Copies of this chain bind each other. A is one copy, B any other.
Amino acid sequence: MYSFNNDYSEGASPQILDALIRENLVQNSGYGLDGHCRAAANRIRQEIRRPDADVHFLTGGTQTNLIAIAAALRPWQAVISASTGHINVHETGAVEAAGHKVLTASCPDGKLTPDQIAGILALHTDEHMVQPRMVYISDSTEVGTCYTKQELSALSGFCREHGLYLFLDGARLGSALTCASNDLTLADIAALTDLFYIGGTKNGALLGEALVIVNEALKPDFRYMIKQRGAMLAKGWIAGIQFEELFRDGLFYRLASHANEAAGQLRQALEACGVAFAYPPCTNQLFPILPDAWVEALSKDFQFQFQDKPDSTHTCVRLVTSWATPPEAAEAFRKALLALAAG
């Protein structure tokens, strides 16, 4: 039984684990004020070409999203998201628990556009309604799609024109930046957003997300917010060491490329069998629409998540590959598919 349930089913990339083992008994300062966190932050600053950026290491996506949003907004302000956005659906109301409304637009491909944001702004005109102040996007999105440089530039320009912070959730940024259709770099993202995070948990770290703040207005006192929300690790260097490795020699990109290649194998097999996709296949999350009988048959050897039921005889499922997916697992899936297609 192999699981394509998600990209956080295994531990850490061996290179990362080795670094943790190597440093295990060295004494470090607590709370992220250590040399590894400093070194990792510097590597990220270099990678994004923003020596002035603030970099904080947190432990998970929901935590990073809620802290970034709650630190940026005043009590009456709201964040705009695709209705499929992780903060809107899968974070148990974490943003609302921090006091803020999530305003949503319906985005068939998971990507927000300036027009959709403009429509929301037009409806929020006085103090009887919340005040939109931030736009939240994810890249890759919750449905596996990616922003192009042109799309992100358009969003960025619109947000700056309208006084909206642009926050990019990069839980799966590695997969986005290494997929075939991508034309963005980390430096582009730093140039086009106000803050964003680089996901480690879903790209080969034991745990860890690197939150990058480029907008000066969002920097002051940020560590207070991290501590208050219970997100400041006593042994902060554990996250620092991992990002040091991820950005030491391109490991971050290699791990994500591996996940994308495994997804590519699956995609080719699915396409060869004439399978359609609910969303354009592009990164390490695929949403094929399969005959129900195939789903049942595949479930005997593979785990994957149910997405929805587009009609009475088909099921859309989610297949996720990771930095750790062995080529053999993808190959086994291909063979199983071909056998089903052959009837």
Q: Is the CB of A224 within 8 A of B10?
A: no
A129 within 8 A of B: yes
Check A127/B221 contact, CB under 8 A, given A96-B96, A207-B233, A228-B75: yes
Q: Is the CB of A28 within 8 A of B9?
A: yes
Tell which of A60-68, A149-157, A288-296 binds the partner. A60-68
The residue of chain B having its C-beta at the shortest distance from the C-beta of A28 within the complex is B9
Residues of B within 8 A of A3 (CB): 27
A235 within 8 A of B: yes
Shortest Cβ gap from A28 to chain B (Å): 6
Q: Is the CB of A63 within 8 A of B207?
A: no
Residues of B within 8 A of A28 (CB): 9-10
A189 within 8 A of B: no
The range of chain A's interface size is 35 or more
Task: Compute how far the CA of A185 lies from the CA of B324 in the bound complex, rounded to whole angstroms.
Answer: 42
A51 within 8 A of B: no
Q: Which of B2, B27, B92, B131 contacts A27 (CB 8 A)?
A: B2
Most interface-central of A60, A127, A226 (chain B CB within 10 A):
A127
Q: Is the CB of B70 within 8 A of A224?
A: no
Q: Is the CB of A17 within 8 A of B11?
A: no
Q: Which of B8, B20, B91, B131 contacts A128 (CB 8 A)?
A: B91
A201-230 interface (Cβ within 8 A of B)? 201-202, 206-207, 221, 223-230
Q: Is the CB of B127 within 8 A of A227?
A: yes
Task: Compute how far the CA of A187 lies from the CA of B6 in the bound complex, rounded to whole angstroms.
Answer: 38
Q: Is the CB of B66 within 8 A of A75?
A: no
1/0 contact string of A85-117 vs chain B (CB within 8 Å): 000011111101111111000000000000000
Q: Which of B6, B29, B127, B228 contacts A30 (CB 8 A)?
A: B6
